[in-house]
Structure formats: structure tokens, C-alpha cells
């Protein structure tokens, strides 16, 4: 009998269909609490998750038979990866599955923002016809700066190849330049970028990476796009930069105040109210990687990697 797997979040049905066809035993549990799952975790060789249950050191140390954790998505911050690796638990994710949808979302938000499309459309629908006030700003000729050149960053750079922009990026790994973008130091990116787009995981190094100090080092007034993680960006610093016009406008698919499960916002405060009421800010509910196509692709990559793990 092949591995017994516990599915803790709803995903595309192809996961069940394809793994069952290969002889895996699957149990679904989309409602039990952390403690309830912990009581039965020793029955399973693997778990497939999204973000509902945190997989911390306590969980992992009690999961004596766990061979792998598969997260249907890119970020792994809800898993204690160091403990998992120390316990020889294989970690699987699927950033390849939603990189295209993230890239399209970045461009969609940015074009709407720079050309004031949402604002102008609402004005016309309310009988207001303003042309000069809604004059747009072209991408052509600008320098587009990316932080993090993994699956998402590369997909964004590829989409930009027809827009007449120069794409530069910063990454902690060396020698990543390709036909779509040139790797530079963080200092050079801060000197040259007209637009800044974040594509980094949430780690100790990237928590509040974009704060007042970082923003002040940006030489130009710039547009900011965040489709990575809310806590990569310090909201209070962004608000101050928007007020001073150092940040011209911001497109945010993620917010610092999201619950860890990404289900909803966790707080209300003046900084959040400012963002939600600003004409210079677009906010979407963590949906950049959330297309009909990405749902299927995310699941397929997870299945393929589990089958590869078992040499199938």
C-alpha cells in the first residue's frame, strides 16, 4: 500500500483523482482545529495543505511518521522549514503553478494605477467627465525594479519584454541575469528604479524589508507593487511615503494585516483606512495567484512532485 495522505485544505479535485489512481490512501479534513489534527497526525505519511493549519515545531515533532508536506502554493512561511528539514521531512510547493497569474496581475494593477482607469471609469459612471485630471503615465522608457528573481519575478520580467521598459532586479543569489532582466546591487536598484515590484518570500530577512529607511534610499519618486507577502512592507512607512509623494502610488494584493490563513483582514487602524480611501492605492484581496488556470496548475505540480518523490 502506498502512502496515506491527509488533505487539510480544499484544492482542485485532480489531486484526489490522480493520487487515488496511483494507489495512495487519502483522507480529507477541512474543518478540524490544530489540536484535533495533531491527535491523528501519526496515522499519515504526508499532508497536503494551503494555509489553514500552521505546521510548527510542536506539530512536526509529534508527527512521527510524516515523510512529506506539500503546500499547494508558493510561500512556505506557515511551515517551520528548519525543523522539517532536521527531521528529514520532504518539503514540496508549487510556485510554478501561479507565476503566470501573478505576473498578469502585476501588470493589470500597474496599468490601471498609472492610467487612473478605475478612478476615471467611476467618475464617468457618476456623470463626471475629467480629462486633464486623469492624464496617465506611460510605462515606456521607465526602469522597472524587481526584488526577488524566482518564479514570480522572472514571469513579470518576461511579460514586460514588450513594454519598452528596462528591467533590473536584485536577488540574494548570484548570476541570475537573463534575456529579460539584468541583475544589479540593491543600491543600484534603489538609484535607478521608477517602479518597484516585490517577489520575495517572508523570512526574517525580508520581514519589513520595505520600511522608511529603504524608501528614503530610493533616489526617484516611484510606484510600488506588492504581490508577495503583506509583512514584506511596513504599512506605516508606505502611508507616510504616499503622503509625502515619495511613493507616487501603490498596487497592493497583500496587506500586513491579513490573517495567516489569508482569509480576511485581522485589524482596523488609521494606516489601513488611509490605504483603502486613497485614490493612489489599489488593493485586491490576495488574488494575484488566484485564477481558474492557476488553481489547476498549482495542483498538478503538487501531484507531479509527490509522484516523483515515490518514483512513480
Residues carrying an active site annotation:
229, 258, 286
Helix ranges, the chain (H): 14-21, 34-40, 57-62, 81-86, 99-114, 117-125, 151-159, 186-192, 212-217, 235-244, 270-277, 292-309
- Cβ atoms of 232 and 209 within 8 Å: the answer is yes
Please tell me what DSSP assigns to residue 285.
S
Alpha carbon 26 to its chain's center: 28
Do residues 74 and 151 make contact, with C-beta atoms less than 8 angstroms apart?
A: yes
242, 280 contact by CB (below 8 A): yes
User: What dihedral do alpha carbons 37, 40, 42, 48 form, nearest 10°?
Assistant: -40
Q: Distance between CA atoms of 69 and 54, rounded to whole angstroms?
A: 12
Pairing assessment for the beta strands 182-183 and 166-170 based on DSSP bridges: parallel
Burial call 190-208: b when 16+ CB within 10 Å, e when fewer: bebbbbbbbbbbbeeebeb
Amino acid at each position: 500500500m502506498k502512502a496515506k495522505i491527509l488533505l487539510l485544505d480544499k484544492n482542485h479535485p485532480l489531486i484526489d483523482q490522480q493520487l487515488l489512481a496511483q494507489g495512495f490512501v487519502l483522507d480529507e479534513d477541512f474543518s478540524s482545529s490544530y489540536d484535533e489534527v495533531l491527535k491523528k497526525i501519526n496515522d499519515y505519511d504526508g499532508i497536503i495543505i494551503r494555509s489553514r493549519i500552521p505546521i510548527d515545531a510542536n506539530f512536526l515533532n509529534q508527527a512521527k511518521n510524516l515523510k512529506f508536506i506539500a503546500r499547494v502554493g508558493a510561500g512556505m512561511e506557515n511551515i517551520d522549514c528548519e525543523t522539517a528539514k532536521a527531521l528529514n521531512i520532504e518539503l514540496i510547493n508549487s510556485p510554478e503553478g501561479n507565476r503566470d497569474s501573478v505576473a498578469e496581475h502585476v501588470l493589470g494593477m500597474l496599468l490601471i494605477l498609472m492610467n487612473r482607469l478605475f478612478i476615471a471609469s467611476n467618475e464617468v459612471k457618476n456623470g463626471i467627465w475629467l480629462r486633464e485630471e486623469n492624464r496617465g503615465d506611460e510605462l515606456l522608457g521607465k526602469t522597472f525594479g524587481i526584488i526577488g528573481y524566482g518564479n514570480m519575478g522572472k514571469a513579470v520580467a518576461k511579460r514586460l519584454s514588450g513594454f519598452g521598459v528596462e528591467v533590473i532586479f536584485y536577488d540574494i543569489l548570484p548570476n541570475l541575469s537573463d534575456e529579460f532582466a539584468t541583475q544589479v546591487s540593491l543600491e543600484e536598484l534603489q538609484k535607478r528604479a521608477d517602479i518597484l515590484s516585490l517577489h520575495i518570500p517572508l523570512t526574517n530577512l525580508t520581514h519589513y524589508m520595505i520600511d522608511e529607511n529603504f524608501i528614503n534610499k530610493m533616489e526617484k519618486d516611484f510606484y510600488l507593487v506588492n504581490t508577495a507577502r503583506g509583512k514584506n512592507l511596513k504599512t506605516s512607512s508606505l502611508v507616510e511615503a504616499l503622503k509625502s509623494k515619495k511613493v507616487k502610488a501603490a498596487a497592493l494584493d497583500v496587506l500586513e494585516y491579513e490573517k495567516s490563513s489569508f482569509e480576511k483582514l485581522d485589524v482596523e487602524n488609521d494606516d489601513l483606512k488611509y490605504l483603502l480611501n486613497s485614490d493612489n492605492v489599489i488593493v485586491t484581496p490576495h488574488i494575484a495567484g488566484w485564477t481558474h488556470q492557476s488553481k489547476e496548475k498549482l495542483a498538478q505540480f503538487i501531484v507531479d512532485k509527490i509522484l516523483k518523490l515515490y518514483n512513480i
